[in-house]
Amino acid sequence: MKRTPFLLLALITLVGRLASPRTEAAETGADVVGVFSRAARGEPLRYVAIGGSITQASGPGWVGDWLREQFPESEVTVVNSGMSGTGSSLGIFRAERDIISHEPDLVAIEYCVNDGGLTDEQTIRYMETLVVRLKSLPHPPAIIIVEAAARTGVNLERHRRVARHYNLIEVDMQAAVNARLAERGENWNALFADDVHPNRAGHAFYAETMRAMLRPFVERARADTPTIATASASLPAPLSSKPLLLDARMAPLHGHVTPGWKTQPLPPVWWSRFFQGALTAEEPGTTLRIPVRGTTIGLLHTMGKDQGSFFVNVDGETPRHIFVNTRDGFSSANVGVDLPAREHVLTVVLPAKSEADPRRNGPVTLGYVLLAGETHATREPSSQGKFTAGVMRDLNFVAVPANAWSWAGPFATPALDGRAPSDARVDTFSKFMPEPGDANFDLGRFAWKPIAAPDDLVDFRALTGNEAPAFAYARAQIDGGTGGEALVSITVDYYCQLWLNGERILVFDGPHSRPHFLSVQLKPGVNHLFIKAGAGSAGHSFQLSVARL
């Protein structure tokens, strides 16, 4: 039997939706029809594509040139706002600068791959924030949700929920790619340079898929002139259980006059276009304190192998230690989330000079403060915690070396509904693997093995040679001296739970490869650490250190 090409199948499905009146699906893409109808009458069409590196490499957002061909009567403007390595958690702050400022009529949002490290709650909240903010503009644009593909598959259900809740077109690239490769008997490398980034043929295929999805809407727009509701009051109630961050913005630090810091343009590198200059310092102990109002506070900063690190916190609470010398480029961090809607203080401090760990010291370059929730914030000041700039500056973390740990495993990822998950996530192994406190948990049942590695990284994949999703246990003892408060810093690839003296103090299921800080109380003498760690698609390791206060 002759197979129907996948693009024809997509068109049949889409036309079926459009031909079915009085159904929710029939309204999908109504906003796009309105934009295309205006363009067909000769009105301008401003198209913005926003996303991560996949969008950044897409040229005219895959369909910009095609839109010009479809609407020669219109002045079509195309803006590519892709920003490598970023997802919707930064996209909500970029909305004003990188989307709204261009007065868009049509917006494509591609964050599915880079949102993979976010929780379901975070993903829905951030994507919904973008959609509702754009749809609440005086001239709301039409929106297309682009769900990019990955070799191991993507979690597109969160983006799909948002798209369907607001009747937006969604382009499922995973389904399209799988169908194309199966139809032609090709392997992944025919369309991709790695696990997620399309090669030239892959980008051409993405463009072809988007054109196939949009073409019926062009035809419908030329056939009639629908009246499209644009008022924000017509939007449904949000899916998110938390308030949307509709006033999120990026406040440039370039120009701040602060002792020890200087403003400067960035060097002529490819990523400097994402910054409006920067604020930089390099002397150990240099401090930056910025009063800010809102409920969410973060930073966008540069990265460079010749740079150092900094501590950052909000209102003197438990800090984060951010190393900016692991690669070149940029990164962002949401430092305070769901804070009370009032005044806060963001503090950044460069650590004291360290001879033992020279990676700590070096230049630090900050681009923007990320702010949200200021619209309804009061001027009431927040109380300040004990982690002042001076305390942070003098924090001295001592690593628990790899050879201090013993380990057991690996244990295969359990099947869920007959399917093995691609990642051994916390909710998976919490359900299936025994933990301290469980009636059937017995340390003696495991074969504990020493680790001979001389460094501080416990890498289960290196120990086992196993690259499949799996679990492992590790345990160690540390000397608490006379006891007292301490900070524990743990960096994990990908998921873990941590116990101190039999009490669970951390469930970690979030962005990997960054230190997570915990304020703990050590007891005098011996303290017991226990870790249950799950592998992800790219790593299975952890690193832990302790700083006494």
pLDDT mean over 314-334: 92
* Element spanning 367, H or E: strand 364-372
The pLDDT, as a whole number, for residue 468 is: 77
The pLDDT, as a whole number, for residue 203 is: 98
| Higher-pLDDT residue of 238, 320 | 238
Dist. CA 6–CA 191, nearest whole Å: 16
When mean pLDDT is compared across 33-37, 134-138, 359-363, the lowest value belongs to 359-363
Burial 200-237 (b: 16+ CB within 10 A, else e): eebbebbbbbbbbbbebbbebbbeeeeeeeeeeeeeee
> Could you tell me the two tokens for 35?
């934009």
Please tell me whether residues 374 and 405 are part of one structural domain.
no
* Element spanning 89, H or E: helix 88-98
Residue 288 belongs to domain spanning: 249-393
| Higher-pLDDT residue of 375, 396 | 375
pLDDT mean over 518-540: 88
Cis peptide leading into 410, omega within 30 of 0?
A: yes
| Higher-pLDDT residue of 532, 228 | 532
Please tell me whether residues 385 and 403 are part of one structural domain.
no
The pLDDT, as a whole number, for residue 113 is: 94
pLDDT mean over 342-351: 97
Please tell me whether residues 222 and 87 are part of one structural domain.
yes
| Higher-pLDDT residue of 240, 6 | 240
The pLDDT, as a whole number, for residue 3 is: 43
CATH code where residue 420 lies: 2.60.120.260
The pLDDT, as a whole number, for residue 530 is: 94
Burial 466-505 (b: 16+ CB within 10 A, else e): beebbbbbbbbebebeeeeebbbbbbbbbbbbbbbeeeeb
Mean model confidence pLDDT for the chain: 88
The pLDDT, as a whole number, for residue 13 is: 40
3-state helix, strand, coil in the chain (%, to 5): 30, 30, 40
State the pairing for strand pair 526-534/470-479. antiparallel
Q: Is the pLDDT of residue 14 over 50?
A: no
Please tell me whether residues 20 and 144 are part of one structural domain.
yes
The pLDDT, as a whole number, for residue 20 is: 34
Query: Among residues of the chain, what percentage have pLDDT more than 70?
Result: 88
Please tell me whether residues 385 and 438 are part of one structural domain.
no
> Could you tell me the two tokens for 106?
């049509």
Q: Is the pLDDT of residue 4 over 50?
A: no
Q: Is the pLDDT of residue 401 over 50?
A: yes
Of 393, 415, 440, which closes a domain?
393
Please tell me whether residues 273 and 327 are part of one structural domain.
yes
- CA-based R_g, the chain, Å: 25
Q: Is residue 278 part of a domain?
A: yes
Please tell me whether residues 355 and 487 are part of one structural domain.
no
Q: Is residue 520 part of a domain?
A: yes
Note whether 476 and 541 are within 8 A (CB). Answer: no
Confidence grade of residue 25 (pLDDT, cut at 50, 70, 90): very low
Instruction: Detail the DSSP E strand segments found in 176-328.
Output: 249-252, 262-264, 278-281, 287-294, 296-303, 309-314, 320-323
Q: Is residue 239 part of a domain?
A: no
Q: What is the pLDDT of residues 412-471, one digit of tens each?
A: 776 544 444 455 555 555 556 677 777 777 777 788 999 998 888 999 989 988 777 788
The pLDDT, as a whole number, for residue 412 is: 76
pLDDT mean over 151-176: 95
The pLDDT, as a whole number, for residue 496 is: 85
pLDDT mean over 236-261: 95
* DSSP bridge pairs for 528: 477
Of 176, 202, 234, which closes a domain?
234
pTM for this predicted structure: 0.85
| Helix 173-184 with 6-18: angle, nearest 10 deg | 140
Which residue type occupies 196? V
Please tell me whether residues 337 and 201 are part of one structural domain.
no
Q: Is the pLDDT of residue 229 over 50?
A: no
The pLDDT, as a whole number, for residue 409 is: 85
Q: Is residue 244 part of a domain?
A: no
pLDDT mean over 289-297: 97
The pLDDT, as a whole number, for residue 427 is: 56
pLDDT mean over 32-44: 96
Please tell me whether residues 83 and 225 are part of one structural domain.
yes
CATH code where residue 17 lies: 3.40.50.1110
Q: 89: closest CA among 468, 510, 426?
A: 510
Q: Is residue 241 part of a domain?
A: no
Q: What is the pLDDT of residues 482-497, one digit of tens each?
A: 999 999 999 887 788 8
Of 378, 393, 408, which closes a domain?
393
The pLDDT, as a whole number, for residue 24 is: 41
Q: Is residue 240 part of a domain?
A: no
Write the CA distances from 351 to 280, 322, 354, integer angstroms. Answer: 14, 11, 8
Q: Is the pLDDT of residue 307 over 70?
A: yes
Q: Is residue 267 part of a domain?
A: yes
| Helix 30-40 with 200-223: angle, nearest 10 deg | 80
Please tell me whether residues 408 and 470 are part of one structural domain.
yes
Q: Is residue 433 part of a domain?
A: yes
Please tell me whether residues 203 and 257 are part of one structural domain.
no
Q: What is the pLDDT of residues 47-103, one digit of tens each?
A: 999 999 999 999 999 999 999 999 999 999 999 999 999 999 999 999 999 999 999
Please tell me whether residues 199 and 268 are part of one structural domain.
no
Dist. CA 171–CA 85, nearest whole Å: 21
Number of structural domains the chain divides into: 3
For the ranges 25-39, 155-169, 457-471, the one whose mean pLDDT is highest: 155-169
**Residue 265 CB partners (closer than 8 Å, separation 6+):** 272, 277, 278
Write the CA distances from 112 to 274, 325, 326, 388, 424, integer angstroms. Answer: 21, 27, 25, 38, 20
The pLDDT, as a whole number, for residue 237 is: 95
The pLDDT, as a whole number, for residue 11 is: 43
